[in-house]
Every structure is written in structure tokens, then in C-alpha cells.
Structure 1
Amino acid sequence: MNQPDVRDRLIVGLDVSSRSEAETIVAELGDAVSTYKIGYQLVFAGGLPLVEEMSRAGKRVFLDMKLLDIANTVEKGIESISRLGAAMTTIHAYPHAMAAAAKAAEGSDLLILAVTVLTSLDEADLAAAGYAGTIAGLVATRAAQARDAGIGGLVASAAEASALRRLVGPDMALVTPGIRPSGSAAGDQKRIATPTEALRDGASHLVVARPIIAAPDRRAAALAILAEMASA
């Protein structure tokens, strides 16, 4: 996988509840940030049109929808997301969904990312959901299935990044949420890492939301994280 410039490796999560707030953040960050994540919170608050608008303005948009349904529904959903101009989107790493998504994205520039295990979950959460075994074991199984299905990348905790990079090789994207600069609060994330740790362990892209969007000076916060990424 060709390593992108450090600016293209940072994905800022627009985890806000209004389109106007999202537009303010994008304007404040300016050319410091090239890629943004739009998820449920903003999509369901009128933010979906921003995917097309930001794409036309030269920004890359990661539409984080975590699709999971019957194969035909996933396939048609991926086709629609591709037409919106999104650069990246997510599905849950179930074999039938990954096969459908890979088929739908074939020939397009849309990067499909398979979510292995949510970074807000720990071993106790996994057991409560009825899964046997460990998080590491489930992540490895789903990652191997994603690789074999032709999926372009994975979303996983930085805690699994090193093992996943060895498993899937250099060509798949590895996107790690739960990134917190040194001294930041963990919030509701249970498996977190600093930018330096995540990149050192094989992540290709880092998703950062609260440490940037909740900062008093958002642009300065983003530039500080980029500087840490560059030094790593």
C-alpha cells in the first residue's frame, strides 16, 4: 500500500448534531485537514448532503454507516454510497456482507472498511453479547475473512494493529479510532492509543474526533496531532 501524506492519514470525526456545526468545524480546520468522518449522529441530523458537497469541494469523506443486512441490501447500499462520492465507508465484518460490499464497490474508488470489533467493547462486553473466546481471536478471524473477501481495509483498535498488519500484509488500509493524544481523556473508549503508538503498530489512518472538535482552538489541536504523526 502506498503510504499517504501525513495530512491524508488523519480523519477528523464530525461527531456533532447539526450541519451548521459541522460546516463551522470544516471551515476552522481549513487546509489542515483533508478527510472527515460522517457517522450516524450527523447523518440523522441532516448531514448526508455534506458527503456530496464536501467531495465536490476537494475533501475526502468517510461515511461511517457500519452496514449489516442481507446481501442484496448491503450491495445496493454500497452502490448508493459510491454515487454520493464518499471515499470510504464501513460495514460490519460478517462474511456475507463483506462479499456483497466487495462486489458492489468493484471498479469504483470507494474504499470498503470492515469493522472487526467496536473499540468501545471489552472482553466482558463480548461475553455478554454471547461471543465465546477473546477480542483478539474474533478480530483475527474477521480480519482474515475480510482479506480473503477482497475488502480494502479494516477498522480496529490500535491494540490489534500490530497483529493485524502481520496477518493482512502491507496492502490493506488499517483505520484506528480510539486515538487520544497524550493527556487526553479516554471518554467512552476502552481500547485507546496515542497517534505515535497507533502508527508505530501499523495503522494507516487515524480517526480523531473529540480531541480536535472539542478543543478551544480546533486548528491548533489538529496541527499538533499532525506534528506528532509526522514525528512518528
Structure 2
Amino acid sequence: MREQRPIIALDFPSFEEVKAFLHLFSKQEKLYVKVGMELYYAVGPEIITYIKSLGHSIFLDLKLHDIPNTVESAMRVLSKLGVDMTNVHAAGGVEMMRSAKQGLGQEALLIAVTQLTSTSEEQMRDYQNIQSSLQDSVVHYAKKAREAGLDGVVCSAQEVALIKEATGKDFLCLTPGIRPSGADVGDQKRVMTPFDAYQIGSDYIVVGRPITQSDDPVAAYQQIKEEWNAE
């Protein structure tokens, strides 16, 4: 039986809250966690060092998007932190993504954001002036990320099958917007349960509030982990 870990989004504003949350788990439970902009900008590289010292894996979710040289230089810095995965915006272009991969090296996975799971098709057409369908836009970005040599993309679970068909089964799909059955969807527009995400072919799932804001985070995590690993 396969054994995969859901990625827990550590969407906390302070170091102290992260420590309190992680200390709820047994030392033998090695987690995969996401450190996003709020936490990284509040604490800095120290948060990465601390989490790695506990033996956990890290997805550093900073969504870099700038000129190729700047992104490559930033990735060279991030490569020294020992994170397991990080990302860029696919909208930055193939040259930028290639530069990011060159700066990061081969030790960590590099994935690209296609369209945020909080973005609806109406918003994409209005704000971004992209007049194709949301799915077409996501698949287009995924193909460009593959062309740039990236390992995969961030996408909604609803687009996984299309992306795999367009890029190959080995191209990774990380899907946020995962909610257990009956949970509040919050600000996410395109959501799916852990079991459905597995069935449709997601390689990684990210879960935040259903775990971090639960009355019993450890039990909530174990439930989602079981759903994610169900056959």
C-alpha cells in the first residue's frame, strides 16, 4: 500500500504558533509542511532551519515572479536552505522558469503556479484578460513549465487529468484547495476531497485550515492522511 503525506499549510503569523502546532505531533511523525509568504516574511530563513531540524519536509511557497536573472539569483539563495520543493509563477515565462531551475539546482523540486485555485474563470477573463477557458489556460501554463524543465505545477485537482495527458504521467501535479467531505470551502473556488484527488491522479495535496484550525489537529491530519492513502 502506498504511503503519502498530505502537505500541511502552516498559515500562521508567528514562529511561536508554528512551534506550538508542530509540538502537537509525535517526534516520530515526520510531516510535509508548506511555508508560505506570511510566515517566511515574518520569521525569515530561521523558520526553515527550525522545521528541518525536526526532520520534516518543506514546500516553500513563495511564488517567485520577476526577471530571469533576479529569479535565478533568488533561487540560488533558497537552494542553500535545504527545502524540498519551491515554486514560481508560470506567467513569468519559459526563460524565467529555466533560470529558476538553474539557480535552484537538482536537490529540490521546482513547480510552477498555473492559475490560483481562488481564481474563477470570470475573474481570469476580467482581470487577466485571458479569454480562453480556465482549463485551457492551466494546461497551456503546464506545457510551458514542462518545456522549461520544471518538475510539475500547482493546479486544481479538477485539471490534473488534462495536465497529465498534455505533459506526461511523470509531470507532478500539486493540488491545493483540498477539503475533507463536508468541510467549509473558505475562499477556494475549485476544491476536491483527498480521496477524489488521489483518484484523479494528484501527486501532492495541500491542506490548511481543516487541520490547523481543527479542535484536534492531529486527529484531523490522520483522517485526511487516511483518505489520501485510501485505495
TM bucket normalised to smaller: over 0.9
**Aligned partners of 1:69, 1:52: CA distance in 2, in Å?**
26
Paired residue secondary structure (1:179): coil
Q: Give how far 1:44 is off.
A: 2.2
Deviation at 1:5, TM superposition (A): 2.8
Which residue number in structure 2 is paired with residue 169 of structure 1? 168
SS at match of 1:84: coil
Change (3 A) 1:33 1:186: farther
- Identity value in percent: 35
- How far residue 47 of structure 1 moved from its aligned partner, in angstroms, is 4.9
Contact 2:87 2:111 in 1 (8 A): yes
Report the AA paired with residue 127 of structure 1: R
Query: TM-score, normalised to structure 2's length?
Result: 0.93
1:35 partner amino acid: Y
Q: Note the alpha carbon deviations across 1:197-217, whole angstroms, 9 max, x for none.
A: 111111001000000000000
Shift of 1:172: 2.0
Provide the secondary structure at the position in 1 that maps to 2:165: helix
Q: Which residue of 2 aligns with 1:100?
A: 99
Aligned to 1:118: 116
Structure 1 stretch displaced more, 173-182 or 95-104: 95-104
Give the drift of 1:21: 0.5
Q: Per-residue displacement from partner, 1:51-107 (whole Å, max 9, x unpaired)?
A: 12222331111110000000000001111111011111110013222111122233x
Letter in 1 for 2:50: E
Structure 2 gaps, min length 5:
none
C-alpha distance in 1, partners of 2:4/2:58?
16
Of residues 47, 63, 68, the one that matches 2:65 is 68
- Which one-letter code corresponds to 1:78 in the other structure? M
Aligned counterpart, 1:41: 38
Aligned-residue Cα RMSD (Å) equals: 1.5
Which residue of 67, 71, 79 corresponds with 1:82?
Answer: 79
Q: Which runs of 4+ in 1 moved over 4 A?
A: none
Contact kept? 1:6, 1:230, Cα under 8 Å:
yes
Which of these residues, 126, 129, 149, is aligned with residue 128 of structure 1?
A: 126
CA contact (8 A) 1:52 1:86 kept: no
Task: Check the 8 A contact 1:15/1:39 in 2, yes or no.
Answer: yes
1:79–1:105 CA contact under 8 A, matched in 2:
yes
Gaps of 5+ in 1: none
C-alpha displacement at 1:33, in angstroms?
A: 4.7
